[in-house]
A and B are shown apart, each in its own frame.
Chain A
């Protein structure tokens, strides 16, 4: 197929050609970035949690104000919950992964450090690692002998008796790699502030934070051997038992003290779902915009293609009369579209890169992976060809006799 006649025709229809190129370029740039945003969001939504996802239930009660018998009441609650058939673990905890509210601390490697090395979240609660179902990769989980109650610990801290504070901790692998790159974390020490020294006794694969400000730090979590009376319980059971266990748990807690308000009762899956609500909404929106953009672009190509075919009926007739086959005409329009799409894609790629740079600066997005360029190009070529097929077939159907009729 000769390209020169196509180019010389396009030169005579500069405006229309430029419009098609521009439309393809803009669509290419925006769709590439939008699809990249979608992939980022999906990756975020599927972020590993490190816990036994479908086995956990959270029940949180409001009973504000420390009462003298808080400890005894928590023990009664825990015993009642553990007695429910099907419950494998239960723990009174300060926070849950993806639960939004969190307690965080600056972590130092040396107490004299000015700025903390990183910021990590602290999970408290007896048996919390076992209840969450974290995956241990080195060392051990926290044992009953490690535990101190929060009240005793804060009293000891105020009086300066640091031996009354917890001494060990379990951290996540991403946090260990950040603190002690290339080394085994077990046995190392870290500091909360400048006064609390903790020895790492175990490393777990993942344990996601309750609230995430920075995705790169989503796994910076540690478990501390502190018993809490938080009125927030985490229950672990088999996935198909959750509904029954949740109902039984509410019943049991109500029996222990009917005056409490249950402000949270859900499976952990619901917590995860809720956490990513806005990301899911944004993903849906972006996909919708991408589809709409591609449809609009395809319609534009169909519209302009039809216009060109109508405008060139006579030329097509002349070519047919001079011996061009239907295939020649068909291929002429397909090649023309291919050329325009190629120029559009080339400009679109540069634009896509520019938009990506803008997003990197303003939305802290990573660089667009190179794979998006060939895939994006291929997609637009295919859409262009599909869109032009209709008008091109109509052109091919122009009979040679047109040449003689209207001159």
Chain B
């Protein structure tokens, strides 16, 4: 029966090609707009580390002397708190994180110097965040302690400077100091760049910078402190900062910890609270009770990482789809009811109401499928437009398999929904009345 209905549907769609084109176009445009924006939101709100994000936590304290105008714990830590919590090693893994910019030259190559974004961190960073290494190795706790002049570089920088060859053992000059490359990353593009997310709630929804690419150079925090003590930037200060952050009244360092067993979170929270209480008795903290340990995904939510414009575009696109569907309902209604005679004949020859309903739903579904193909092409076009925009996440945007399936599912579902009312009306047509007028 389905094949017969399909044949009827194709004939009917051919009969009035303008009307068919109009309906297919309406669904295609609506689906294209919705899927473009939904894909972007889907890519931006995903889990950057599926499988291990539930084991990662972000401890916060409040070292503000006097009143903290924000009342929340600080988004970053001061040097001493960060160092104390990190060196206590109370979690399974812990990494300090701070990003700086340094002048970089490759003394063996004849290339102009460039400003490199450098992530200064500690050894656990690589295993903790499952960072893939293509060549060489990451550094160890020993390198952190000895402040070795070693660095891991990104695949992009390796391509740019060394044409993608194994560059371990070669030398880079950072801020005038020679540093040995010990490892090269594989392709690594977390979305968002979660380990640097902070301050999102102050940015009024303009958070696309959270989707920047990872840094070009990774090096031990301790070594970077020696090479370029004045290159670190404050997140916020409560007094006048000097050039060296370590002795400035500022927060500027982030600490990430991993607890393989998330049930140990309670212990870790108590440890952080205990540390704050101890600092209060030492007279260094005022707000000892203002500590918090959030999970990675919770921290991303708290920072509203998905830019508000992106969300707004998604709402707009779905409203647009709704209007397109309204339009399709009207047009389908016009198309189906015009065929009163045909329906009357089929009913008189014994077709049940259900059969007529099924016939018209098949026709609506076919329109949906055609609209889905158009919607898919328009989604590809829409995503291409997004990719050509000057935004940080442009290179992340692509249509994955699940979104492709969803495009067609949404198109067919939407057209069936739009077709249901007209099909129901068509199936209720009284056969006698129609046959009389034939």
User: Are these two chains actual partners, yes or no?
Assistant: yes
Binding site for B on A (CB under 8 A): 15-16, 19-20, 22-23, 26-27, 30, 34, 37, 62-66, 106, 114-116, 154, 157-158, 193, 196, 213-214, 259, 261, 263, 277-278, 281-282, 285-286, 289, 292-293, 296-297, 299-300, 303-304, 306-307, 310-311, 362-364
Indicate if the CB atoms of A27 and B101 lie closer than 8 Å: no
B322 A20 Cβ-Cβ under 8 A: no
Question: With A and B bound together, what is the CA distance between A114 and B313 in angstroms?
Answer: 40
Minimum CB distance partner of A407 in chain B: B437
Contact with A along B315-339 (1 / 0, CB 8 A): 0110110111011011101100110
Known: A64-B230, A154-B242, A303-B327. 20 other contacts (CB 8 A): A19-B326, A19-B330, A26-B322, A26-B323, A30-B319, A30-B323, A62-B103, A64-B103, A64-B231, A114-B66, A154-B240, A193-B240, A285-B313, A289-B33, A292-B33, A297-B323, A299-B22, A303-B334, A307-B338, A311-B338
Alpha-carbon gap, A115 to B64, bound state (A):
13
- Are the C-beta atoms of B329 and A193 separated by less than 8 Å? no
Q: State the interface size on chain B (CB cutoff 8 A).
A: 56
CA gap between A282 and B308 in the complex, in Å: 11
Q: Is B206 engaged at the interface, CB distance under 8 Å to the other chain?
A: yes
Contact for A19 among B66, B313, B329, CB less than 8 A: B329
Q: Is A282 in contact with B309, judged by CB distance below 8 angstroms?
A: yes
Whether B115 contacts A300 by the Cβ 8 Å rule is no
Establish whether residues A116 and B69, one from each chain, have CB atoms under 8 Å apart when the complex forms. yes
Q: Distance (Å) between the CB of A402 and the closest chain B CB?
A: 15
Decide if B202 touches A277 in the complex (CB within 8 Å).
no
B80 within 8 A of A: no
> Provided the pairs A30-B320, A293-B320 are in contact, do residues A65 and B230 lie with their beta carbons within 8 angstroms?
yes
Which residues of the partner chain A approach B354 to less than 8 Å between Cβ atoms?
none
Q: Which residues of B contact A299 (CB under 8 A)?
A: 22, 26, 327
Task: Give B99 Cβ to nearest chain A Cβ, in Å.
Answer: 14
B434 an interface residue at 8 Å Cβ cutoff? no
A303 B19 Cβ-Cβ under 8 A: yes
A299 and B323 CA atoms in complex are apart in Å by 12
Residues from chain A with a CB closer than 8 A to the CB of B391 are 278, 281
Chain A hits for B329, CB < 8 A:
19
Q: From residue 199 to 255 of chain B, which have CB atoms closer than 8 A to chain A?
A: 202-206, 208, 228, 230-231, 238-240, 242-243
Closest chain-B Cβ to A91's Cβ sits at a distance in Å of: 21
Which residue of B67, B102, B323 has the most chain A CB atoms within 10 A of its CB atom? B323
Residues of B within 8 A of A300 (CB): 26, 326-327, 330-331
Considering only CB atoms, which chain B residue lies closest to A263 in the complex?
Answer: B115
The 10 A-B residue pairs whose C-beta atoms are closest, nearest first, are A307-B334, A300-B327, A19-B330, A23-B326, A114-B67, A303-B331, A304-B330, A26-B323, A115-B69, A30-B319
Q: Are B326 and A261 in contact (CB under 8 A)?
A: no
Contact flag A363-B205 (CB < 8 Å), given A296-B29, A311-B338: yes
A23–B103 Cα distance when bound, in Å, is 58
Q: Is the CB of B324 within 8 A of A296?
A: yes
Question: Contact at A16–B330, with CB atoms within 8 Å?
Answer: yes
Contact at A23–B67, with CB atoms within 8 Å? no
Contact residues in A for B29 (Cβ distance below 8 Å): 292, 296
Report the number of A-B residue pairs with Cβ-Cβ less than 8 Å. 128
B425 at the interface (CB under 8 A from A): yes
Q: Which residues of B from 266 to 309 have beta carbons under 8 Å from A?
A: 308-309
Interface centre among A63, A65, A106 (most CB of B within 10 A): A65
> CA A157 – CA B26 in complex, angstroms?
67
Q: Is B323 in contact with A23, judged by CB distance below 8 angstroms?
A: yes
On chain B, the residues within 8 Å of A115 by CB distance are 67, 69
B56-79 Cβ-contact flags toward A at 8 Å (1 or 0): 000000000011010000000000
Q: How far, in whole Å, are A271 and B327 apart by their CA atoms in the complex? A: 44
B177 to nearest A CB, angstroms? 10
**Complex interface: chain B residues within 8 A of A363 (CB):** 205, 308, 312
- Complex alpha-carbon distance, A289 and B239, angstroms: 48
Residue numbers in A under 8 Å from B239 (CB-CB):
193
Residues of A within 8 A of B333 (CB): 15-16, 19, 307
B348 at the A/B interface (Cβ < 8 Å)? Answer: no
Partner of B22, one of A37, A106, A277, A303: A303
Q: Are B202 and A213 in contact (CB under 8 A)?
A: yes
Task: Provide the bound-state CA to CA distance between A277 and B390, in Å.
Answer: 8
Q: Which residues of A contact B308 (CB under 8 A)?
A: 362-363
Is B106 located at the chain interface by the 8 A CB criterion?
Answer: no
* Contact between chains at A296 and B26 (CB < 8 Å): yes
Q: Are A296 and B330 in contact (CB under 8 A)?
A: no
B390, A261: Cβ atoms under 8 Å? no
CA distance A64 to B335 in the complex (A): 72
Given the known inter-chain contacts A114-B67, A278-B391, A299-B22, please indicate yes or no for A62 contacting B115, CB distance below 8 A. Answer: yes
Assembled-state Cα–Cα distance A229/B259 (Å): 45
Asked whether any CB of chain A lies closer than 8 Å to the CB of B262, the reply is no
A297–B390 contact, CB under 8 A? no
* Cβ-defined contact, B230 with A261, below 8 A: no
Q: With the chains together, A116 CA to B238 CA distance in Å?
A: 11
List, sorted by A's number, 12 A–B pairs whose CB atoms are closer than 8 Å. Answer: A15-B421, A19-B326, A19-B333, A62-B115, A64-B103, A65-B176, A193-B239, A285-B313, A289-B320, A293-B320, A300-B331, A310-B338
CA distance A114 to B67 in the complex (A): 6
Contacting residues, chain B, for A277 (C-beta < 8 A): 390
B residues less than 8 Å from A307 (CB atoms): 331, 333-334, 338
Please name all residues of chain B whose beta carbon is closer than 8 Å to the beta carbon of A65 when the two chains form the complex.
Answer: 175-176, 228, 230-231
Once the chains are docked, how many angstroms separate the CA of A267 from the CA of B335? 59
Instruction: Check: B389 CB closer than 8 A to any chain A CB.
Output: yes
Name the distance in Å between A42's Cβ and chain B's nearest Cβ: 15
Q: Is there a chain A Cβ closer than 8 Å to B46's Cβ?
A: no
By a CB distance below 8 angstroms, the chain A residues around B316 are 30, 34, 286, 289
Contact among A259, A293, A304 for B331, CB-based, below 8 A: A304
Q: How far is the CA of A154 from the CA of B202 in the complex (A)?
A: 28
Shortest Cβ gap from B208 to chain A (Å): 7
> How many angstroms from the CA of A286 to the CA of B323 in the assembled complex?
16
Which of B22, B204, B324, B330 makes the CB contact (< 8 A) with A364? B204
Which residues of chain A are near B322, meaning CB under 8 Å? Answer: 26
Q: A213-B204, A363-B205 are in contact. Are A261 and B115 (CB under 8 A)?
A: yes
Residues of B within 8 A of A259 (CB): 113
CB under 8 Å from chain A, chain B span 369-426: 389-391, 421, 425
Cα distance A204–B204 when bound, in Å?
Answer: 27
Task: Tell me whether B351 is interfacial, beta carbon within 8 Å.
Answer: no
The listed residue (B319, B327, B337) touching A297 by CB distance below 8 A is B327
A193, B322: Cα distance in complex, Å? 53
**Closest Cβ of chain A: how far from B307's Cβ, in Å?**
8
**Contacting residues, chain B, for A293 (C-beta < 8 A):** 320, 323
Bound-state CA distance A304–B19 (Å) is 10
- Most A Cβ at <10 Å: residue of B317, B333, B334, B425: B334
A66 to B243, CA, bound (A): 9
Decide yes or no whether B114 CB sits under 8 A from chain A.
Answer: yes
